[in-house]
Structure 1
Amino acid sequence: MEKIEGNLLIIGGAEDKEKGCTILKEFVKLAEEGREAKIVIMPTAAEKSDSVGRMYSDIFKDLGIRDVEVLKIDSRADGFSKVAQRTIEEATGIFFTGGDQLKITSLLGGTPVDFSLQKAYKKGVVIAGTSAGAAAMSATMIIGGNGDSTPQMDILNMAPGMGLVNQVVIDQHFAQRGRLGRLISAVAQNPYILGIGIDEDTAILVDAQANLKVIGSQTVTIVDGFNSTYTNVSELKPKQALAITDMVVHILPHGYRFDLKNRKPITD
């Protein structure tokens, strides 16, 4: 298996952009690490990509980064651009904005730019995503669903993600939009996958050893169904409530860590 050197900074959305900027400063620090930083902003998911790109460009310049570039991928053809590939290859930090995560995967999936992103991550580049940009990080992503419903099979829609982090599914704006039910429903469909719900102004930093650290003002919820002893998920009819037993839930605030490979908090 090819060794991964990079870090992922996966943000639950609505991160502080004006006061302490704790999460965005962490991204800048990781992009710098012993080198002159070049940050590439990818507003692919955003409806108003120009204004969103400018906003984050101004923020990162205010945080001391001189070399910031907005890379617009608005079509599948853009994903085959040699210039775009070179831009990714020269980056030390790549930042995906919020919007619609399906735009990210449908425009980038399988393109040379997608392969350049994977290569950049493996060689040590930090890749961050907020909101939709966070949801797209996993191999399977949630693309929609009723967040405040009783857990049911038909309350969420899922699709293939970017695959930067495997064996997890990520939900964002988590506590603020009451999304525990749909995350449990996602995990029930495949209990081998960890469900990670990230609150607003909160992020997880995933390192090369698949350990995560929580950063920000709120919490991260991790749902683990691996040792569940019963579920009716395969028998459910539309609108019927889900049953699942012996599921484990972890709630982790700022500074707490979790070992994704061994499915347990790191307490030392």
Structure 2
Amino acid sequence: MISNAPTGTVVLIGGALQAGSDAVWQRIVDEAGGPGAPIAVFPTAAHDPERIGAHIVAALNRCGARAEAVPVAPHLEGVDLQARLHDPDLVARVAASRAVFFSGGAQELIVDTLQPGGRATAMLQAISAVFEAGGVIAGTSAGAAVMSRLMFRDAMDNLAVLKGQWRAGHEYDQGLAFVSPDLLVDQHFLKRGRIGRLLPAMRALGYRHGLGVDENAAVVIKGAALEVIGGSGAVLVDLAEASADAELPAFNLRGARLSYLDAGDRHDLASGVTTPSQRKLQGRRVDPAAAGFTPGLPSDRYFLDILGDGCILGAMTQLLDGPAAEVRGLAFRANPRAGDPAPELGFEFQLRRGPGLVGWQAQAVGSDDYTVLGVELDVVPVRVANPLFTPLAALPRPVVESVLAGRGGPKENGDGDGQR
């Protein structure tokens, strides 16, 4: 773990970069010094490190780098891992690099290999030296997760974390601390609904800021300055004014602030100022508090699975550009697992228009690309029925036909209430 204040550049990739994502690879090369920049690639997290390492090396070299894979990975066959970690020649080659890239896979393999028991190996010290000299530390998926001082280790079940499953060495662990000590990083964020684990993790670990990077997107960090690149975006969470009710027997939160930063947007963590991309500034400014505001999204959808693919962003954009001042969604398990200690426990996410909510929509016709700043969020624990629903009982045909025709049910004794 590095101890000094960040001095280099960090590039966090949310995972699953798509074809045509050379802009992200090129940015890493450019930040490392441009053509010929030596980059050390660590496929440490991968279960097929030779193949994954070769793929990353090829992508970087295609953009002009001089990248090489570092054979330090638990799943490399026939390799003395401990010898490689302390090989002076290999360590020196890494230290002489201008950038280090961590592959995806399982992040626990990275920390357990480079920082066993929280102690930095000679190899990790060489990586830290690259950063402290102004170099680049980049990573995708698992390689992005390790960048915080504390990280998600094995917390794949968002709802279980919301319900309180949170153990050191299991759901979370020490990270490598290449970003601000007050920033918790997550990845595959919108695709996998990881707002469900980020919020309770931030509260439990004492973080003010959380950054959830989506798939096919990256965030470039220099000190307190963030810039989003790639084909998607990132969710920034601020808990500076958030509170919780200690009397409630489950996780709850009031007053969290969420923002969605799209490609090209910049944000300064120190000042709290966001600068939308030029593409957004040339588009439509959306301010639901402005006189004459006309919603661009007429939907009044209730999100029955707020942890579903992209749903939290859908709720944020609906709040910004829709007709209602509040949007709600539910996180629950409709088919509780055996042994679930609280099968009836769910959480309602209540998104509200607070002071300062504003956004921008890209100018292109039919574009649904938004930047959304300042959504207020409460998370309220609720009891969900189990089963959630039951089949309707069969009704006589005349009753069914009457209901379908919109005439209501049968009337008794002329009372007109349609009840039986």
Structure 2: runs of 5 or more not aligned: 74-80, 277-420
Structure 2 residue 229 is matched with structure 1 residue 215: yes
- What is the identity, as a one-letter code, of the residue corresponding to 1:83? D
Of 199, 203, 218 in structure 2, the residue corresponding to residue 203 of structure 1 is: 218
- Who wins on radius of gyration, i.e. which is larger? 2
Distance 1:3 1:247 in 2: 27
CA distance in 1 between partners of 2:238 and 2:200 (Å):
12
Q: Does 1:265 align with 2:273?
A: yes
- The alpha-carbon deviation at position 135 of structure 1 amounts to 0.1
Distance 1:85 1:60, change over 3 A: same
Counterpart CA distance in 1 for 2:205 and 2:20 is: 40
Choose the corresponding residue for 1:164, options 173, 178, 193. Answer: 178
Report the Cα offset of residue 113 of structure 1: 1.1
Report if aligned partners of 1:221, 1:250 keep a CA contact under 8 Å in 2. yes
Asked if 1:73 is matched to 2:88, the reply is: no
* Paired amino acid for 1:125: G
Partner Cα separation in structure 1 for residue 26 and residue 231 of structure 2: 14
Aligned mates of 2:38, 2:209 — CA distance in 1 = 33
> For residues 62-89 of structure 1, what are the alpha-carbon distances to aligned partners after superposition, in whole Å with 9 as ceiling and x for unaligned?
2222x22110213344222212211111
Give the deviation of 1:267 after TM superposition. 3.0
Greater helix share, structure number: 1
Letter in 2 for 1:153: G
CA distance in 2, matches of 1:170, 1:76: 29
Q: Is the 8 A contact 1:152 1:185 kept in 2?
A: no
Give deviations 1:148-199, integer Å, cap 9, x for gaps.
5273321681100001112221111111111111011111213434211110
Cα 1:154–1:20 change in 2 (3 A) is closer
Tell me what 1:9 maps to.
Answer: 11
Assess if the C-alpha contact under 8 Å between 2:21 and 2:230 holds in 1. no
Query: How many Å separate the matches in 2 of 1:180 and 1:154?
Result: 15
1:153 to 145, 164, 171: 164
Are the counterparts in 2 of residues 205 and 212 from structure 1 also a CA contact under 8 Å?
Answer: yes
The partner residue of 1:104 within 107, 110, 123 is 110
Aligned to 2:125: 115
Most deviating of 123-132 and 214-223: 214-223
Relative contact order (C-alpha < 8 Å, sep 6+): which is higher? 1
**1:130 has 2:140 as partner:** yes
Distance 2:22 2:39 in 1: 16
**Runs of 5+ unmatched residues, structure 1:** none
Question: Tell me, what secondary structure is at the counterpart of 1:23?
Answer: helix
Q: Could you give the per-residue CA deviations for residues 40-82 of structure 1, whole angstroms, max 9, x where no partner exists?
A: 11100101101111111122222222x2211021334422221
Q: Percent identity?
A: 28
Equivalent pair of 1:11/1:131 in contact (CA under 8 Å): yes
SS of residue paired to 1:116: helix
Aligned AA for 1:258?
Answer: H
Mapped contact 2:224–2:268 kept (Cα < 8 A): yes
Specify the SS of the correspondent of 1:230.
Answer: coil
- In 2, Cα distance between the equivalents of 1:250 and 1:137? 21
- Change in Cα spacing, 1:242 to 1:146, as seen in structure 2 (3 Å) is farther
Is the Cα contact below 8 Å between 2:166 and 2:172 reproduced in 1? no
Following TM superposition, by how much is the alpha carbon of 1:9 offset from its aligned partner in structure 2, in angstroms?
0.3
Structure 1 residues 49, 225: CA separation in 2 closer, same or farther (over 3 Å shift)? same
| Counterpart amino acid of residue 258 in structure 2 | V
What CA RMSD, in Å, does the superposition of the two structures yield over aligned residues? 2.2
- Alignment-derived partner of residue 195 in structure 2: 180
Letter in 2 for 1:25: Q
TM value normalised by structure 1: 0.88
Deviations 1:104-125 (A, max 9, x none): 1111011011111112101111
Secondary structure of the corresponding residue to residue 247 of structure 1: strand
Distance in 1 separating the partners of 2:268 and 2:206: 17
Name the SS of the counterpart of 1:212 in structure 2.
Answer: strand
Name the count of aligned residue pairs: 258
